[in-house]
Chains A and B, each alone.
Chain A
Amino acid sequence: MKTTIMRLARIFFLGFSILLCWSGTVQAGNATADKKAHRLYQDNCASCHGADYGGYLAPALNAETLQGRSPTALRSLIMVGSFDTLMPPFYGRLSDDDIRLLVGHIQKTPRQPNPEWTLEDMKASLKIYVKDESKLPTAPTYRIGGMDDLIGVAARGKYGRGNGSEAIFIDSGSHRQVGRVPTVTAAHIIDFNPARPRWAYVKTDTAEIYKVDLYSMQAVRSIKTGFNGPGMGVSRDGKYIMAGAFVPHVAVILDADTLEPLKTFQLEGVDPDGKFVSSDSGMVIGTPFADIFAIALENAGQVWIVDLQEGFPVTKIKNVGRHLHDAFLTHGGRKLMVASYDDSIVAAIDLQQRKLIKKLPAGCVPHVGGGAAVVVDGRTLGFGTNFGTCDKTVVSVWDLDKMELLKQVPVSGGTESPAAHANAPYVAVDIISKDRRARTIQLIDKKTLEVAKTLDVGGHAYFPEYSADGRYLYVSAGYNGDEVVVYDSTTLKKVAAIAMESPAGIFSRGRVKYMTRGLSPDVMQE
């Protein structure tokens, strides 16, 4: 009897240990799978959907936002991509097992806490590709009329990373590509050094900044300033760069020469509703008016002015608006027009007095892009695009001297970026509404302030930009267009097309001369 009990106990014990062992392996197996899935997410999804699973250019992918979604539907969406968005097809690029693993992973992972990325982390990420910059050529190694003729295009690459992701430079005199600088992940913003024409800075969606030599068309250094976020500005003396991130909530000032980080700023403060919040970085901008940077704190609704002197002191302008995003300068760079998504206003800030002057109506969910301002009959008019998620789709025109709304021009859909030039008759806006209209851009006559013409560019046309002399209008055909299309800015005849993968933002070097697109390239307007 005793032996039987003993035997039973032994069997039981054995069974129990086997069970224990088995559950242990399962857990270890799960941990490995989770680790792999997290890696897959970071390598394939994070540059658009956010390193914290909280969304960025593309929707948030986490347990909360994907609750109740069919795993099969998510799997097919990942396989074939999503039409007329930046979401590419991952069929053949990720295995079916990996796609299933990813779906399970994003459906159970909560939005991650703000990860740390300190000054030390940034320092450690500094990469040097060209050790001795004094050995670089002293003039452009390609034929070009002048450096202002350069146009930089952020070619995202279909997958937001890999061989298609580059900053591509075009000579707007000949419409030929003169350089391509691989950026590993999608290039988002290209800024030119106002004081030293040979340097440009490219920021990617994964927050790396590349210092690019435009004479030899190569990256000489890079630094990782965070995990996601496009915000970047260059100071008027060309000595500093400021960069702001979505993930984590940090901004940093870099030495523009060495890319060494000098000081970081935690982006947090009291929002217009009295809540203390940690905040994404919106636009970061340098101005020809003073040795300062202005940075918008998206969620805190504040604009900070950073003086470029010992210790980089900060002046905080509060209650600017709810969910600030981008901005443009006017009046010689003394005034800053900041878009506020949730209030549907553009807030005018005086950078000299460091205070909010006025809030102007701006349509629905204003996204001013790089902004545009033109002088017509002695008046300086500002043009404001907006996503137009309500019924009214208009472009707002403000009298910037009086700081009042002059007109809201009806356009065919939502818009996200205006382009203007002192020598060109039209202000171009990109229609982004998700149907056939997305193929088009509309041209507003500067004098009549009415839409004069609609161009069918193809693909998902966006980010119009004029060449520095104003003779040509460049437009990205976008997601599926795979080319930048060039028009004569007066006749609006197509004159060239330059092939590249998923082109987005277009940045003329002329911008450093006229500050805001549309103002005179020759005289800085007061």
Chain B
Amino acid sequence: MKNMTVFLTMGIAAWFAGNTHAASPYAGKAKAAAVCAQCHGIRSPAAEAPFPVLAGRDVQYLRMALKQYRDKTRTAPIMNNIAGSLSDRDIDDITAYYSRVTP
């Protein structure tokens, strides 16, 4: 019985380890440069561009917005398409990165 508990605990721990991760701003940096920066820039979008600043925004807000765009509960054709290509992990990484950039 005791062995069983240990086994179970280890199993749960392994399950968690496989499913959660700390968001990586380094991975986010590469992804942001490839996916977001064309319009939103790194520190700021172009002076002449209509796109909002992402650098330094609240991480929860960024994550929520990207997930809404991805799930199409918030509609904007271009953002729905772009966010549609992102995994949960990508979203966590990208938002961890942008929230740390000084605008």
Query: Which one of B38, B43, B50 contacts A81 once the chains associate, using CB atoms below 8 Å?
Result: B38
Contact partners of A91 in chain B: CB under 8 A: 39, 78
By the criterion of a CB under 8 Å from any partner CB, how many residues of chain B are at the interface? 17
Q: How far is the CA of A93 from the CA of B37 in the complex (A)?
A: 17
Contact partners of B44 in chain A: CB under 8 A: 482, 499
| Given A80-B38, A458-B33, residue A482 in contact with residue B43 (CB < 8 A) | yes
Q: Are B47 and A164 in contact (CB under 8 A)?
A: yes
Q: Show 20 residue pairs from A and B whose CB-CB distance is below 8 angstroms, ordered by the A residue.
A: A81-B39, A83-B34, A88-B38, A88-B46, A89-B38, A89-B39, A91-B78, A92-B49, A93-B49, A157-B47, A158-B45, A159-B49, A161-B48, A162-B47, A164-B46, A458-B33, A459-B33, A480-B33, A480-B37, A499-B43
A-B pair number, CB within 8 angstroms: 67
Binary flags per residue of B17-43, CB closer than 8 Å to A gives 1, else 0? 000000000000000011001110111
Q: Are B42 and A83 in contact (CB under 8 A)?
A: no
Nearest 8 A-B pairs (CB), nearest first? A158-B46, A92-B50, A163-B47, A162-B48, A164-B47, A480-B37, A159-B48, A89-B39
Which B residues fall within an 8 A CB radius of A?
33-34, 37-39, 41-51, 78
Binary flags per residue of A79-116, CB closer than 8 Å to B gives 1, else 0? 11101000011011100000000000000000000000
Q: How far is the CA of A481 from the CA of B50 in the complex (A)?
A: 19
Which A residues fall within an 8 A CB radius of B?
79-81, 83, 88-89, 91-93, 157-159, 161-164, 458-459, 480-483, 499, 501-502
Kindly provide the distance from the CB of A218 to the nearest chain B CB, expressed in whole angstroms. 19
Query: Which one of A158, A459, A482, A499 contacts B48 once the chains associate, using CB atoms below 8 Å?
Result: A158
| Residue among A92, A480, A481, A499 facing the most chain B CB atoms (10 A cut-off) | A480
By beta carbon, the residue of chain B nearest A166 is B47
| Given A80-B78, A83-B34, A458-B33, residue A481 in contact with residue B42 (CB < 8 A) | yes
Kindly provide the distance from the CB of A399 to the nearest chain B CB, expressed in whole angstroms. 40
Q: Are A482 and B78 in contact (CB under 8 A)?
A: no
Q: Are B38 and A480 in contact (CB under 8 A)?
A: yes
Contact partners of B51 in chain A: CB under 8 A: 89, 92
Contact partners of A499 in chain B: CB under 8 A: 43-44
Q: How far is the CA of A459 from the CA of B41 in the complex (A)?
A: 10
Kindly provide the distance from the CB of A140 to the nearest chain B CB, expressed in whole angstroms. 26
Q: Are A501 and B47 in contact (CB under 8 A)?
A: yes
Q: How far is the CA of A486 from the CA of B39 in the complex (A)?
A: 25
Kindly provide the distance from the CB of A188 to the nearest chain B CB, expressed in whole angstroms. 18
Q: How far is the CA of A481 from the CA of B77 in the complex (A)?
A: 26
Q: How far is the CA of A499 from the CA of B45 in the complex (A)?
A: 12
Q: How far is the CA of A480 from the CA of B48 in the complex (A)?
A: 15
Q: Are B41 and A159 in contact (CB under 8 A)?
A: no
By beta carbon, the residue of chain A nearest B48 is A162
| Residue among A162, A481, A482 facing the most chain B CB atoms (10 A cut-off) | A482
Contact partners of B49 in chain A: CB under 8 A: 88-89, 92-93, 158-159
Q: How far is the CA of A499 from the CA of B102 in the complex (A)?
A: 11
Contact partners of B39 in chain A: CB under 8 A: 80-81, 89, 91
Contact partners of A459 in chain B: CB under 8 A: 33, 42
Q: Are A164 and B48 in contact (CB under 8 A)?
A: yes
Contact partners of B50 in chain A: CB under 8 A: 92-93
Contact partners of A79 in chain B: CB under 8 A: 78
Q: Are B42 and A480 in contact (CB under 8 A)?
A: yes
Q: Are B42 and A482 in contact (CB under 8 A)?
A: yes
Contact partners of A83 in chain B: CB under 8 A: 34, 38
Query: Which one of B37, B42, B46 contacts A157 once the chains associate, using CB atoms below 8 Å?
Result: B46
16 more A-B residue pairs beyond the given contacts A89-B39, A157-B48, A158-B49, with a C-beta to C-beta distance below 8 A = A81-B38, A88-B38, A88-B49, A91-B39, A93-B50, A157-B46, A158-B47, A162-B48, A164-B46, A164-B47, A458-B33, A480-B37, A480-B41, A482-B37, A483-B43, A501-B47
Q: How far is the CA of A475 from the CA of B43 in the complex (A)?
A: 17
Contact partners of A501 in chain B: CB under 8 A: 41, 46-47
Q: How far is the CA of A157 from the CA of B34 in the complex (A)?
A: 19
Contact partners of B46 in chain A: CB under 8 A: 88, 157-159, 162, 164, 501-502
